[in-house]
A = this chain, B = another copy of it.
Amino acid sequence: MSPFEDLISPSVGFGKEIAALAAARDASANRAKVSTKDRIAQATELLFLQRGYEGTSLRAITTEANVNLAAVNYHYGSKEELFTKLLTERLDPLNDERAARLDSLKAKGFDREHRVEQIIATLFLPALSLARDPAQGGPDFLRFIGRAYADPSDFVRKLLAERYAATNLKFKQAFGEALPGLAEHDLAMRLNFILDAVSSTLASEDVRRVLGGLQSERADDDLNLLAYLAPFLGAALRAAVRSPSQIAALQNL
């Protein structure tokens, strides 16, 4: 039995707000009228994917949404509050699920041999299963969170760092325990390394070709992508576990 088997579990349900949003979006597909507030949200998501936080002006949003400029401040308060709402709406469930799965994995005990791969799986399998949930925004979900983690603006970076500091620390510690002998700053560097890589990969268009049909309901696809990426990332992390003397010995590899 694969050590990842347990990780492929049905996702828990999430707030009614998101369901309401999705319902409103479906209604738009059928008829015509979407509320001003929701049209702003949709236009913002679209433009954020294309241009990021700083590159997306309120006027671009209101033009795309066919809405008066003042509507954003009326419905959301400010640009930062608008983006905070959109970002946390997707990232809160993601990080909750990540933390929950890591806890249950810890409780059950890690696999001896594939500990790193198990943690990697816990880190981004939730993103894959949430991406499959139409109530979470569908196939653009992955691109959205990839963009979010790659966004260079102070505002987004601070939001992610502060709001999810606890979860991030949990995973850092888990990797640290799975990779003893790796200096702390080395671990931090390697984690940034693979996180950046995963973010930009998720944000790209190509990942969907790898995923194939995201519409599929079968969790086997998760295993496919996991089998595709986990050895890749695992090898990267493990390769860092080398003392300076070992590095010297590698000179004529």
| Residues of chain B with a CB closer than 8 A to A117's CB | 253
- A192 within 8 Å of B by Cβ? yes
- A227 within 8 Å of B by Cβ? yes
Q: Is the CB of A239 within 8 A of B232?
A: yes
Q: Is the CB of B209 within 8 A of A228?
A: no
Shortest CB–CB separation between residue A160 and chain B, in angstroms?
15
Q: Is the CB of A227 within 8 A of B204?
A: no
- A18 within 8 Å of B by Cβ? no
Among residues of B, the one whose C-beta sits closest to the C-beta of A223 is B251
Q: Is the CB of A206 within 8 A of B185?
A: yes
| Residues of chain B with a CB closer than 8 A to A236's CB | 232-233, 235-236
| Residues of chain B with a CB closer than 8 A to A52's CB | 152
Q: Is the CB of A252 within 8 A of B193?
A: no
- A165 within 8 Å of B by Cβ? no
CB contact list, A179-237 vs B, under 8 A? 185-186, 188-189, 192-194, 196-197, 200-201, 204, 206-207, 209-210, 220, 223-224, 227-228, 230-233, 235-236
- A250 within 8 Å of B by Cβ? yes
Binds B, one of A70-78, A136-144, A240-248: A240-248
Q: Is the CB of A200 within 8 A of B192?
A: yes
Q: Is the CB of A201 within 8 A of B227?
A: no
Q: Offer 23 A-B interface pairs, CB within 8 angstroms, sorted by A.
A: A1-B252, A2-B252, A114-B253, A185-B206, A185-B209, A186-B210, A188-B206, A189-B201, A189-B204, A189-B206, A189-B210, A192-B200, A193-B201, A196-B196, A196-B197, A220-B251, A224-B247, A224-B248, A227-B247, A228-B242, A232-B235, A232-B236, A235-B239
